[in-house]
Structure 1
Amino acid sequence: MSSVEPSKIGQYFVAYPHQYHFILDEPDQCQQRRPFLVLMIPVAPQNRAARDAIRKTWARETTVLGRVVSHYFFLGLAKEGDGVLQESREHHDLLQSDFLDTYQNLTIKTMVMLEWVASRCPGVPYGMKIDSDMFLNVRNLVQMLQKAPQHTYITGMVARGAPVVRDPNSKWFLPKEVFPDSHYPPYALGLGYVFTLDLAKKFIEASKHVKAVYIEDVYLGLCLRYMGLNPTDPPNGGLFKASMPYIWSSCYWTRVITTILNSPQQLLDVWQSYQTKAQTGCYTLFSP
């Protein structure tokens, strides 16, 4: 018996590949700055608070361990006016494309992001997709990447053997008609993954052969499987955190790369704590 009506199967796929266009663009910045690492942050157009908090915290880390780091916020279209033009003129870090900015379209957002970085950042070694509700320790990330592979490499919090969600009430539901396997191939969770930029073009090429489902990190895993590649586990299993522990030590923020937070204000508070501890010798505890 079918788990979904045939007429509804299409809602689990998204319109990609497609000829999307940028409304707001920074076409020359990447080549002018020649960064070692480009941070790509998908965010809703109306979420100005998250963007401002990031600009005041980890996006301020523009040179780390002698390496140039750049950041860009990726936006789709709001259902109503978003008023981001003035913000773009002020900060020059907004990239907006002409698809509707919804949860269902996160795969489109991710792929358009990869299109941008592949075309605008030739010669840049690494990119990272990181959600806007994250703490990011840029120093630890750069330190890890200085010893990382330079080709066909993607890492983060890697899911292996993850079961396909069959509960129709879940936002991650996929019916058997869309994905018949019971488990997904390995993939890096979308909260924050880092990759060599040669993979961006490979993902775009694979997308011509792998039908795009709406769960963006799973979709990249499907593209990796098509390419015969696997994500790499980070050198330390505690670097990429889905959430901070209930009880954490005073040096916690200097030991991780990512952690999900609850609000822009919490990021501002955590960042102040992190900077204080980073100056007291906590960094000696990190070993990539």
Structure 2
Amino acid sequence: MLKTLPWLLAVSARRVEIYDAINFSKAHATPDACRVLHWPTVLGNSQQLPGPADAFDIIMTDDAQMVPWLEAQGKLYFLENRDFALGDMSRELAQLKEAAPLEWRREGMSVLLPAVANTGWLQQAFEDVKVMMPASYFIDDGTFITRNRAFANFTFTALLLLDQDTGVPPQSLIDCIAHGTVPIIVGKHHKLDYTRYFSFAIAKFRDFSVEQAISFMLTAPADALYVYANSVKIVQEFFYMRYKHPFRQRLQRHAAMACHALRSPQPPLAFVSIYSAKKNFGRRMALRDTWLPILKAHGIPYRFFLAGTAVDDSELDHLLRRERDYFDDMVFLIGTTDEYPIGKKGLAALLWVAHHSDAQFWLKFDDDLYVRPHSVLSRLSGIQRAELYWGAFDYSGLVIRDVSDPHYTAPEIWPEPVFPPYARGAGLAMSMDLVRLIAEEEEKRPLKKIKVEDVSYGFYLWQLIYDRAVTSITLYDRDELHFAMDAKCCTEESHPNNCWLPLTAQTWIVHHVSPSVIRCMFAKDIASGLYLPAEVETRYLQGILLDMAEYDHHVQSAVGKIQGGQSSQSGHGMAADLCGCVVTPPAHPGKPLQGGRMNEYSTGPRLHS
């Protein structure tokens, strides 16, 4: 029996019992136990679950026909047992291949064939590679030794065995990526978006012939090879972080958190932390009047997190304490300030949540956001409950070495020129096991600190994986297009190279918006039926609002007729077109604003000359 971490005992009211193909018949219902069945695809498909499946509270499988990749639906929970055998050597292999001469990269292709050629096109491919690529084809026997020979010295490998390699993702695909080798995938199968960059890290062929593959290699432009190489490194990092911890320990953690979600009474889906500065009275009022009541209607607790107030009787701190008493939704973090950057404040808020919330996820927001809670909560309610880090990720955050810059990071803290992957700070989520693990490790031995708040969370998690080897982490980066990091309405056609994550009909979170814009967006969503209208309140600039307005003129938006909203109980209406609430500047004249070699568009990365 695996040793259980102390905080895992605290999150589960019932004992967690894990069963598999060997002992599943011994499971029997008891009120004090949460029964979890691990049933991978190697044992069969959804039609071959054991007869007493109803005896289990949770069924964990890697069968994507039963439950989609990374998702949780009812008692079904996606979890796979995979190996990332090369470990830290993977990045070195990928960098060596990227640095190789262009001619070598164009010619470096292998073919990995299944042991049994059970279709006509596979039989033809087998005959062709024996003649045309006698030193570059390999017959898969399922061993890492054979796959290492097939991948190690090649830039591309045609994976012709995926139809016979069960599970999602196939182990052969992970082994290929681990070697820094670009997979060539044939046919319409296996087009899953494991990570946002997966589709840019693979070559997709409708059908396969050796002549076609050789032609592709010889004619692939330098731009394409560059994008493949960089995307493979990102996908490498994704799989490495997901499979870093031993599977049996991952299984136990996922089982404990999945069982925690079934407790009665059910814990909140999320606890929401909203970072705010002391004088941002107008922003806090705008959120209280718009999307925060929708959170409350879903049973989601929230708090504004501010720097600590002084014990003297300054007018500002006195007003903040009045505001806290009036609205009862603020936390003052002793020992922190509003000074930018706020990395220290971010850690203090995370530690507070670790000790004060029993929620399943931690959601962190800034106070200059418009959020559509339905969409965000719907996503969290349908995905894995452990080892999850969600948001719009930056994979190329440059490290500042200028000691005069407030974002300066010393080489002894982080020596590389690019930060580890991190979710941008406007809005992010972590499963609560990671929040508590950061707190636990910080209390044991302080983690290294970075001043930049959003980078900090990714850096803390990186240390838990690489330095302390206490967890695995899944970077859930597939919702990036639901973030509007720049509140303008544009397209790549209207604003070439100057339209990054714009406001669209699919937006869930809008960043950098003023209180009046937040109210405008909320009014449009009410008018479209996304929320039901609540009682209209007429406010005047008096009392606490008058005192707030002395520090923040944005409080003016909280006076006049305030339209409240509430959740719809009979389904959700359509999300409104919010473009009328924002001002979209004209396209930037002249050269593109972005620098560097590879630029990131709404459709993915592209090399720009």
Greater displacement, 37-46 / 236-245: 236-245
Of 275, 280, 283, 1:50 maps to 283
Which one is further off, 267-276 or 40-49?
267-276
Residue 574 of structure 2: aligned partner: 282
What does residue 62 of structure 1 align with?
A: 295
Cα drift, residue 63 of structure 1: 4.9
Answering whether residue 389 of structure 2 is matched by residue 154 of structure 1, we say: yes
User: Take 2:295 and 2:330, find their aligned partners in 1: how far apart are those partners?
Assistant: 16
Give the number of aligned pairs. 248
Distance 1:272 1:118, change over 3 A: same
2:273 aligned residue? 40
Q: Does 1:218 align with 2:464?
A: no
TM-score (norm 2): 0.38
Partner of 1:200: 435
Q: CA RMSD in A?
A: 2.8
CA contact (8 A) 1:74 1:96 kept: yes
Where do residues 15-30 of structure 1 align in structure 2 (5 Å cutoff)? none
CA distance in 2, matches of 1:236, 1:100: 32
Per-residue CA deviation, residues 257-277 of structure 1 (Å, 9 max, x unaligned), is: 211133111111111122223
Question: Would the aligned equivalents of 2:309 and 2:334 in 1 still touch at CA under 8 Å?
Answer: no
Query: Paired residue for 2:408?
Result: 173
Give the structure-1-normalised TM-score: 0.76
Contact kept? 1:44, 1:76, Cα under 8 Å: yes
Say whether residues 1:128 and 2:363 are aligned partners. yes
* Alignment match, 1:273: 524
Q: Is the 8 A contact 2:438 2:461 kept in 1?
A: yes
Match of 1:238 in 2: 481
> Any conservation in 2 of the 1:34–1:68 contact (CA below 8 Å)?
no
* Alpha-carbon distance in structure 1 between the residues aligned to 2:382 and 2:527: 27
State how 1:86-105 maps to structure 2 within 5 Å. 86-104=322-340
Greater Rg over alpha carbons, structure: 2
Secondary structure at the aligned position of 1:154 is classed as strand
Q: Which runs of 4+ in 1 moved over 6 A?
A: none
| SS of 1:274 mapped into structure 2 | helix
Structure 2, unpaired ranges of 5+: 1-264, 466-471, 492-502, 531-571, 577-609
* Residues 275 and 172 of structure 1, relative CA distance in 2, 3 Å threshold: farther
Give SS of 2:425's match. Answer: strand
SS of structure 2 residue aligned to 1:243: coil
Q: Distance in 2 between matches of 1:236 and 1:39?
A: 19
Pairwise CA distance, 1:71: 1.3
Q: Which residue of 1 aligns with 2:21?
A: none
Map of 2:398 onto structure 1: 163
Q: Is residue 156–residue 192 contact of structure 1 (8 Å, CA) maintained in 2?
A: yes
The answer to whether the Cα contact below 8 Å between 1:186 and 1:221 also exists between their aligned partners in 2 is yes
Q: Give the CA deviation at 1:94.
A: 0.8
Q: Distance between the aligned counterparts of 1:230 and 1:278, measured in 2? A: 37
- Helix, strand or coil at the partner of 1:189: strand
Greater relative contact order structure (CA < 8 Å, 6+ sep)? 1
3-state DSSP class of the match of 1:88? helix
TM-aligned CA distance change 1:105 to 1:169, over 3 Å: closer
Deviations 1:109-162 (A, max 9, x none): 21221222111112x111211000111110000111111110111111111132
Structure 2 residue aligned with 1:255: 506
Q: 1 CA distance for matches of 2:291 and 2:464?
A: 33
Give the stretch that moved more between structures: 87-96 or 155-164: 155-164
Mean CA deviation greater in 216-225 or 136-145: 216-225
Deviation by residue 1:29-83 (Cα, 9 ceiling, x = unmatched)? xxx995322110111122111111110011111356xx41121001113685422
Which blocks of at least 5 consecutive residues in structure 1 are unaligned? 1-31
Contact kept, 8 Å, 1:254 with 1:278, in 2: the verdict is: no
- The 8 Å contact of residues 41 and 72 in structure 1, kept in 2 or not, is answered as yes
